[in-house]
Structure 1
Amino acid sequence: MAMVELLTTELVVPAEETPAGAVWLSNLDLAARRGYTPTVYFYRTNNQPEFFEADAVKDSLARALVAFYPLAGRLGLDAATGRVQIDCTGEGAVFVTARSEYALDELLNEFVPCDEMRNLLVPATPAPNPPCPLLFAQVTRLRCGGVVLGLAVHHSVVDARSAAHFVETWASIARGGGGDAPLPPCFDHRLLSARPPATRAVLYDHPEYKLEPAPEHAVAAGSTYASAIITLSESQVSALKARCTGASTFRAVVALVWQCACRARSLPANAETRLFSMVDMRARLAPPLPPGYFGNAVIRTSALATVGEVVGNPVGYAARRALAATSQGDDYARSLVDYLEGVDAMNLPRSGISRAHLRAISWMGMSLHDSEFGWGAPVFMGPALMYYSGFVYVMQAPGKEGAVALALSLEPESMPEFRKVFAEEVARLHTI
């Protein structure tokens, strides 16, 4: 594996004076994984001298931080309550430049989300506890002239959609779109406050936020995993959706992954398997959150079935079960926020998941075109690592209209069989 040489590390502060004070964080922010989410964007050179020139990138970042000023602050604590918050100090985001002997095509051939790639392409981050920076960025120039933009954003302050909102604004400014955010961010996290005690109502169980009983086959966070990136063509996605009547692309793809993972893991038919998911509640609340809501507005959900039910039925069955994990509305979200008010939301169980389970996350709404900084859209965007086995991200495949890319992690002993079973099932889509 080629190495990366770090060249410079500095703080980029907002280009103008920004508001001070603190941003209150909601229970959904506190319940998010306490840590940084590392992502990578790969760009092919357009052979222009100014291609990802460091000063231009830093200048556009500084201007983006004017509108998104909390990202230039630090994670802090409320002095009276000890509750985690954002201190809007304006100290800046960490910006790193680096170079590597990789060529872009070599990197694309080798890349899978893993610790080694994260360490090469995304800045090192401190312990994710107050006080710590919230945004790290690294521009790594490759041997061929291409560039990798690696980001690490603190999950306590953003979910995937908010992170994409920031990157899209930064890219728009870099393209010459001025200093204003195309969609102004909203930092009013009290829109997701718990209801007053007299009207608080926990109407659902919310097992996804509770410590799971010790499973027979536990997989600890940070344990060894094998990861892969697998692409489904537009015609394969269409054929799959035809077998999952009414299912979205995300649910249909996840249903097939769930089936194949159960088979590859050689689980007994009577074992319980849970499909965990994350649901963006912005448009599902009543009233909906503002379009530019900037924070964590996703909730963990899940669907439970036996392995026999998942593998013994057509894939449409698993898609219907997946629907049960992704169809919650306002009453469910408000119940969860009220539930979190009554527990220690900052110290919820955040371990790995059982070897029988799967955690699926949709990044389908993250447009590659919107991450174009003026020198061409990225040829790949995805997570830089997986946290443990059983993770799957569903994303748009770059440069292929209607195609889908999966970033997947499984136990090392299960991955070869998964690849085999998955390829067989995809081949059968057009033959049945």
Structure 2
Amino acid sequence: TPLVHFYRANPDATAFDVARLKEALAKALVAFYPLAGRLDIDNEGRTEIICNNEGVLFVVACPRVVRIGDTGGDPNQCRLTQSLLPHTRPPPELTARHNPASGDDGGDGVSPLNNDRIEGRRRDLVTDDDEHAWLDDVHDGGGHDPCGARRQRHRHGQEPVDAAMVEVVHLGTAVHHDAVDGSCFFHFLQTWSTFSRDSDGAAVELPCHDRSLLRPRSPPVVDPGALSVLFPKVTFSKTSGPTATVAFTIFKDQVATLKRLCGGASTLCSVNALVWRRVCVARRLPPHVRVSLSFPANVRRSLRPPLPDRYFGNALFWLGTTSAARDVATESSLTSIARRIADAIARMDDEVVRSAIDYVELAETESRPLKGSMPETDLRITSWLGTDSL
């Protein structure tokens, strides 16, 4: 998952000192040591994390001219934003798994809940490996790339960045969802930030690495009733035409009005209800066709006992609801649509979560790659509401 943070000019020149950021990153990785490992596939075809202390890629880039407005409203389409994200090559085992030689463009994918495992031992990750620390000077090459076309690479430290001359700082990160979910990654970023600000005096909350808390039952048992709200599988087909990415902004007062129209439903239920209805209308689906809406749910508070607040791993699964297209597209009130979504969320309890874990354990692990497009009858929405972002 790529993520870019933008920071305006800061009179404190030490706030984005490269050496300070790198030292703080090394300290944060001691507690979050799986992030310094490598993804691999075990003998059973499941994703695992090898804690081998190989470290993370650390890059410093100096663009020619960058303004926050240069990124536009759509990060996915902006070449500047893409250039601010780290690029790594996955291991051949993962490449072979997700891009088989068969070239099949469709398939069913099982969405893992806790399908990854950590192997290896914890090591001291406070290292200074220049192989993972580069300084990229980006010069004006006369091309259309807003960062310039010609790039020269130097060892970190030979040409230090003058923090006093920096007007805008961009912090780009990328993490694989097989390793952690969004809550865990933001916890890591907050820890990194705290170490950078307070150094050795930083007061941080350590992550919990006990993966046995989400271990399948023995034997695994899936409650049939749970399958009505679980959406662990998704079917993809070959894309029939071009796709477009568009960003829509919903302002705070609009959200408040929408929530009133939905009978006082939560922001998540209200926005999902509106999007689901408008998508069904735009797709002009036959009235009798069954349509589905699914979204990821954080299960940390749903288990009994609950997971620790700082549990490190994946604690998400997909749940949702179905209905006839006519009921979603022609419903006189958004309240009933929002209520369908709220009812699915209310069903999320310890038994549903345990059934989801057991379902993943029983499911086929060697699934085909997720390529192409979802059926027009299906809609998946990912929300960052409630995530402890920076």
Which residue of the other structure, out of 367, 375, 384, is the alignment partner of 1:347?
A: 367
Change (3 A) 1:329 1:348: farther
**1:122/1:138 contact within 8 Å kept:** no
Question: Cα distance 1:201–1:109, how it changes in 2: closer, same or farther (>3 A)?
Answer: closer
Q: Could you tell me which residue of structure 1 aligns to residue 76 of structure 2?
A: 113
How far the C-alpha of 1:349 sits from its partner, in A, is: 6.4
| Matched residue, 1:25 | none
RCO greater where, 1 or 2, for CA within 8 Å and sep 6 or more?
2
Query: What is the 5 A alignment of 1:22-421?
Result: 37-78=1-42, 81=44, 83-114=46-77, 116=79, 119-127=82-90, 145-176=167-198, 178=200, 182-197=204-219, 200-203=221-224, 204-205=226-227, 208-210=231-233, 212=235, 218=237, 220=239, 224-313=242-331, 314-327=333-346, 328-345=348-365, 347=367, 350-351=370-371, 352-368=373-389, 371=390
Q: Distance in 2 between matches of 1:131 and 1:350?
A: 13
Cα 1:236–1:81 change in 2 (3 A) is: closer
Bigger mean CA offset, 85-94 vs 142-151? 142-151
2:17 partner amino acid: E
Partner secondary structure for residue 362 of structure 1:
coil
Q: What is the root-mean-square deviation in Å for CA atoms of aligned residues? A: 3.2
Distance 2:303 2:176 in 1: 24
Check whether the contact 1:60–1:174 (CA below 8 A) recurs between aligned residues. Answer: yes
Q: In percent, how many aligned pairs have the same letter? A: 35
Structure-1 separation of matches of 2:265 and 2:135: 38
SS at match of 1:113: helix
- Residues 39, 323 of structure 1: alpha-carbon distance in 2 compared, 3 angstrom cutoff: same
Q: CA deviation at 1:331?
A: 0.7
Q: Give the number of equivalent residue pairs.
A: 324
Amino acid at match of 2:227: D
Aligned-pair distance for 1:282? Answer: 0.4
Distance (Å, rounded) in 1 between the aligned partners of 2:215 and 2:280: 38
Alignment-derived partner of residue 18 in structure 1: none
Structure 1 residue 224: deviation in Å?
4.4
- Separation in 2 of the partners of 1:347 and 1:99? 41
TM normalised by structure 2 equals 0.73
Greater shift in the superposed pair: 354-363 or 159-168: 354-363
Pick which of 258-267 and 136-145 moved more.
Answer: 136-145
Shift of residue 298, structure 1, vs aligned partner = 0.3
2:345 aligned counterpart, secondary structure? coil
Q: Deviations over 1:180-207 (max 9, x none)?
A: 662210111111111011x734433376
Change (3 A) 1:349 1:273: farther
Bigger strand fraction: 1
Letter in 1 for 2:36: A
CA shift, 1:226, in A, is 2.0
Q: Which has the larger radius of gyration?
A: 2
CA displacement at 1:312 relative to structure 2: 1.0
1:318-374 CA distance string (max 9 Å, x none): 211222443311111111111222122353663442123221122122345xx2xxx
- Structure 1 gap ranges (5+): 1-36, 372-432
Unaligned runs of at least 5 residues, structure 2: 96-117, 119-131, 139-146, 148-164
CA distance in 2, matches of 1:284, 1:220: 37
Cα separation, 2, equivalents of 1:355 and 1:100: 41
* Displacement after TM superposition at 1:52 (Å): 1.9
After superposing the two structures, state which structure 1 stretch, 251-260 or 139-148, moved more: 139-148
Structure 1 residues 343 and 72 mapped into 2: Cα distance closer, same or farther (>3 Å)? same
Q: Aligned partners of 1:301 and 1:219: how far apart in 2?
A: 24
Give me the whole-angstrom Cα distance separating, in 1, the residues matched to 2:135 and 2:303.
Answer: 38
- Runs of 4+ in structure 1 deviating by more than 6 angstroms, as ranges, are 136-144
